[in-house]
C-alpha cells in the first residue's frame, strides 16, 4: 500500500475518492458530518503540499441515473464549513466543462464533482469510464474506506491508469484492522449483529478461526437459533440458509439464551443474554464489533445493544467497531470516547 508521503503533489491534480454518503435531515441539511470530518486530514495534507484537489464521491443509490434528490449542490456549504476552505462544484464530472474548471484550479484549491453514481459506468466498473475519470488528473488517492470493498470505477478501475496512494484515513483504517485481524492480543471476542445472516456469513466464517468467542445477536441470530431448534415464531429468518449455518454452530459461537419479543418476533436480546455476553466481554483483550443486537432505534428494544455497548466500553480491551448502526448505538449509549477505534467502513 503506497502512502501520501511517497509522492510529491506540488501543482499536481489529485483525484481524491472520499465517502460523503452522509445522512440528511428532512429539510435536506446534513444530519451527521462525521464522514466529511474523517477526510479532512487527507485534504489538509494535500492542500499543504500544493495539490489541486478534485474530489470524487457518491451519495445514495441513484442506480446510474441522475436523481435530483441526490445531488451534491445542497451539501457544498457544509462540506466547505467542515473542511475549513472554499469548495467549488462541478455539476458534470465528464466533458469539456469540468476539464476547463480543473484547468483553472490553483494549488490548494478544491473542486467537488457531482455524484459519481449518476453514471452507469461507475458501479459497472466500466474501464472506459474509469479511463475518462483518470484523464482528469495526475494522481489518484483513495480515502473512501467505507466504499473500498466495492469494485467500482472510482474505487478500483481508475487505479490501473494513474499513480495511486491511500489517503490518511484509508491508511489508518487498514493499519488498525490489520492489527486486530493479524496480531491481536487474546482472548479475542467478536460481536456480530444486524438483520441478515447472508450479508455477514463471510465475515463470521472469516472470524471464527481467529477469535476465542463470537457473540451473535440481531435478526441474523434468528436463522442460527432456528437451526439450533429454537422456535423463532414470526421472526425474520433466512430459511434457505438454515442447513448451511448448522456448520457454524460450535462452543466458540454464543447465541442468545433469552430474547425480547414484539408481536411474535424477536426484536432484542434479553437481560440474561446481556449478562452472559457482558461476562465474556469482560475477559477480552481485543474486541471486534459489527452490527446492532436488536431493533435499538426503538427504545423498547434498545436495552440489549446499549448494554453491550456499555460492557465493551468498560472492558478495558482494545476495541474496534464498524458499521453505521453500531456507531449510532455507541453514540446513543454515550460511550464513544471509550472505544479504541471506530471504523468508517460499515460492513466493509
Give the position of cell 443486537: 293
> What does the pLDDT read at residue 347?
55
Instruction: Specify whether 208 is located in the same domain as 306.
Output: yes
Ramachandran sector of residue 263 (left: φ over 0; alpha: ψ -120 to 50; beta: rest) = left
Q: Can you give the pLDDT at residue 344? A: 76
Q: Residue 42's domain is classified under what CATH number? A: 3.40.50.1260
Q: Are residues 259 and 299 in the same domain?
A: yes
Shared-domain flag, residues 253 and 140: no
Q: Which domain holds residue 282?
A: 184-342
Across the chain, what does the average pLDDT equal? Answer: 94
Nearest to 185 by CA among 215, 204, 210, 214: 210
Phi, psi of 269 (to 5 degrees): -80, 150
User: Cα 8 to the chain's mean position, in Å?
Assistant: 29
Residue-level pLDDT at 34: 86
**Residue 106, pLDDT above cutoff 50:** yes
- Same domain? For 165 and 306 the reply is no
What cell was used for 6?
A: 511517497
Give the sign of the dihedral formed by CA 227, CA 233, CA 237, CA 240.
Answer: positive
Mean pLDDT across the stretch 331-340?
95
Confidence label for 346 from pLDDT (cuts 50, 70 and 90):
low
Q: Is 347 designated active site?
A: yes
Q: Which residues contact 103 (CB under 8 A, 6 or more apart)?
A: none
> How many domains does the chain contain in total?
2
- Pair 72, 138 in one domain: yes
Classify residue 131: in a domain, yes or no: yes
pLDDT tens-digit series, residues 313-324: 999 999 999 887
Same domain, 111 and 78: yes
Predicted confidence (pLDDT) at residue 172 exceeds the cutoff of 70: yes
Cα–Cα dist 58/17, whole Å: 9
pLDDT in tens, 131-162: 999 999 999 999 998 777 678 999 999 999 99
Our answer to whether residue 307 is catalytic in this structure is no
Question: Catalytic one among 137, 157, 193, 324?
Answer: 324
Q: Do residues 294 and 236 both lie within one domain?
A: yes
pLDDT at 348 over 50: no
DSSP classification of residue 119? S
Least confident residue range of 169-178, 218-227, 287-296, 301-310: 169-178
**Alpha carbon separation from 49 to 12, 13, 18, 86, 241 (Å, rounded):** 10, 12, 18, 17, 52
CA separation for the pair 302, 29 (Å, rounded): 27
What 3-state class would DSSP assign to 289?
strand
Let me know if 108 is a catalytic residue: no
The CA distance from 77 to 87, in Å, is: 8
Higher pLDDT, residue 231 or 95: 231
**Gap between the Cα atoms of 47 and 128, Å rounded:** 29
Instruction: Identify any residues that bridge with 12 across adjacent strands, giving them in sequence order.
Output: none
202 and 331 co-located in one domain? yes
Q: What is the pTM assigned to this prediction?
A: 0.78
Which residue is catalytic, options 196, 210, 252, 285? 196
- Given 35, 47, 52, 117, the catalytic residue: 35
Q: Determine the pLDDT at residue 222.
A: 98
3-state secondary structure of 260: strand
Half-sphere exposure of 148 (CA within 13 A, CB side): 22
| Confidence class for position 232, pLDDT limits 50, 70, 90 | very high
pLDDT exceeds cutoff 60 at 91: yes
**Do 42 and 113 share a structural domain?**
yes
How much is the average pLDDT of 54-60?
96
Amino acid at each position: 500500500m503506497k502512502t501520501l508521503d511517497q509522492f510529491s503533489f506540488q501543482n499536481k491534480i489529485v483525484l481524491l475518492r472520499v465517502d460523503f454518503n452522509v445522512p440528511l435531515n428532512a429539510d435536506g441539511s446534513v444530519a451527521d458530518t462525521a464522514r466529511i470530518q474523517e477526510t479532512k486530514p487527507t485534504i489538509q495534507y494535500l492542500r499543504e503540499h500544493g495539490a489541486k484537489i478534485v474530489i470524487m464521491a457518491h451519495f445514495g443509490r441513484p442506480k446510474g441515473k441522475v436523481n435530483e434528490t441526490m445531488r451534491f449542490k445542497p451539501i457544498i456549504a457544509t462540506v466547505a464549513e467542515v473542511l475549513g476552505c472554499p469548495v467549488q462544484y462541478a455539476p458534470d464530472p465528464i466533458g469539456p466543462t469540468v476539464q476547463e474548471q480543473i484547468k483553472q484550479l490553483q494549488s490548494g484549491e478544491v473542486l467537488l464533482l457531482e455524484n459519481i453514481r449518476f453514471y452507469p459506468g461507475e458501479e459497472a466498473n466500466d474501464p472506459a469510464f474509469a479511463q475518462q475519470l483518470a484523464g482528469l488528473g495526475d494522481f489518484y488517492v483513495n480515502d473512501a474506506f467505507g466504499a473500498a470493498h466495492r469494485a467500482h470505477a472510482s474505487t478500483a478501475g481508475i487505479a490501473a491508469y494513474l499513480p495511486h496512494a491511500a489517503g490518511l484515513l484509508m491508511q489508518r483504517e487498514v493499519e488498525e484492522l490489520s492489527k486486530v485481524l493479524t496480531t491481536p492480543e487474546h482472548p479475542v471476542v467478536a460481536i456480530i449483529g444486524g438483520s441478515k445472516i447472508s450479508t455477514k456469513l463471510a465475515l463470521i466464517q472469516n472470524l471464527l478461526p481467529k477469535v476465542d468467542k463470537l457473540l451473535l445477536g440481531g435478526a441474523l441470530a434468528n436463522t442460527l437459533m432456528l437451526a439450533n431448534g429454537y422456535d423463532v415464531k414470526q421472526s425474520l429468518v433466512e430459511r434457505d440458509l438454515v442447513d448451511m449455518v448448522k456448520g457454524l454452530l460450535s462452543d466458540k459461537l454464543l447465541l442468545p439464551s433469552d430474547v425480547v419479543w414484539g408481536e411474535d418476533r424477536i426484536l432484542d436480546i434479553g437481560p440474561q443474554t446481556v449478562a452472559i455476553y457482558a461476562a465474556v466481554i469482560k475477559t477480552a483483550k481485543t474486541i471486534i464489533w459489527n452490527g446492532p443486537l436488536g431493533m435499538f432505534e426503538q427504545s423498547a428494544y434498545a436495552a440489549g445493544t446499549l448494554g453491550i455497548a456499555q460492557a465493551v466500553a468498560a472492558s478495558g480491551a482494545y476495541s474496534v467497531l464498524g458499521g453505521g448502526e453500531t456507531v449510532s448505538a455507541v453514540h446513543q449509549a454515550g460511550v464513544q470516547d471509550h472505544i479504541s477505534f471506530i471504523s468508517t467502513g460499515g460492513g466493509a
